[in-house]
Amino acid sequence: MAQPAQGVQWGGYDPWTVVPPPAERERKTVSRRGAWIAVLLIALVAGCLGGGIGAYAERDRASGGVDVKLPQAPVEKEARSPGSVAGIAARSLPGVVTIHVRGSAEEGTGTGFVLDKRGHILTNNHVVQSAGTDGDISVTFNSGQDAKAEVIGRDTGYDLAVIKVDRVSGLTPLPLGNSDSVRVGDPVVAIGAPFDLAGTVTSGIISAKERPITAGGEKEDGSDVSYVDALQTDAPINPGNSGGPLVDRKARVIGINSAIRAADDGSGLGGGQGGSIGLGFAIPINQGKRVAEELINTGKATHPVIGVTLDMGYTGDGARVNTKGAGGGAPVTAGGPGDKAGIEPGDVITEVDGVRVHSGQELIVKIRSHRPGDRLGLTVRRDGKERAAELTLGSASSG
């Protein structure tokens, strides 16, 4: 009978070694694995601690052994000077609103300011005109409060409109200044929502007065053209500033921001999206106050007229009276202000109260800057000779 091979049965056998049972061998294998994991964890923690200690030591060497604390001024709680831009803004902002308009075909953003405790707000006509008869107008106050608004009256000739909010408490009307007191170089602050950035405050000066500005003119009959004898300012205003207040150093409104000369095409705030180049124009508050009162009281505004039809295509210097009236009518209204002053068809009006006018548009702007019933002194050229004429302005309704 063959014997089992010794190398197979006993190979590698050590008689002095105690061979553990299988279960105990498995426990020792697991124990060794746990030991290795513990060693790795200890090494990882030691590395982190070493890195942290090294970083702290490096920071400690860089700072000279102390924690760095930078000096800073304390919070200043005292109010700003009332005449500073910050002081003017603090008094004016509560009375300024951002206007959002949504019509059937378009929507837009503008600005307005509170006129009285009854909720009347003054803005530009071109801000609210897209609402039409069935659009939506909402206003947001500086406090964040929202309210619906309705149109009380608007006038395209002056580019002004009055809207009204109801059931809003804590209204802050802005005081109105006198635009006749404004001087070139006076500091001013403009407040509005350029590009829908509500409560934006910019500052500048009055750059010029009595700038003849026209805007609109999309209708063929020219009935939507606005004529403004504007205040010019370099306070930056942009699309969305329309209808916002231009205030003096006593926080009194002296103008309604309405148009800019843009870097692209010179369109007003109601048109393109060109940015400010420091040429902004505001409707004088004296004109705005009169129109606002009429819109609130009657829903319409009156325009001063001289009772003549002008030749808007005339390229010479001055404003020429047409030789033919519109629609076959008389170019000089019989019994009207111009007729009573002796103005005839073909006459050229060159001055208004001693101020030169160079076109029919400039004449209309000068006339619109007055009230019906005001007396004006004109210089009229006829057959190469000039003569003086005086007239009393008549009245026409915007409706």
| Residue appearing with tokens 């700072």 | 63
Cα 299 to Cα 220: distance, rounded to the nearest angstrom: 25
**In 193-316, beta strands by DSSP E:** 200-215, 226-233, 245-247, 253-262, 276-284, 302-305
Tell me, what DSSP letter sits at residue 376? E
* Contact criterion met (CB below 8 Å) for 258 and 111: no
Give the contacts of 306 (CB within 8 A, at least 6 positions apart): 336, 337, 338, 341, 343, 367, 376, 391, 393, 394
| Residue appearing with tokens 């102390």 | 66
* Contact criterion met (CB below 8 Å) for 87 and 79: yes
* Contact criterion met (CB below 8 Å) for 211 and 232: yes
Total Cβ atoms within 10 A of residue 210: 14
Cα 191 to Cα 101: distance, rounded to the nearest angstrom: 19
Would you put residue 73 in left (φ > 0), alpha (ψ -120 to 50) or beta? beta
Whether 126 sits among the annotated catalytic residues: the reply is yes
Per-residue CA distances from 340 to 26, 309, 335, 391 (Å): 125, 15, 6, 7
Query: Of 100, 120, 126, 303, which one is the catalytic site residue?
Result: 126
Name the phi and psi angles at 351, rounded to 5: -145, 150
Whether 242 sits among the annotated catalytic residues: the reply is yes
Query: Of 100, 130, 155, 159, which one is the catalytic site residue?
Result: 159
Query: Of 92, 242, 359, 398, which one is the catalytic site residue?
Result: 242
Which residues are known to be catalytic?
126, 159, 242
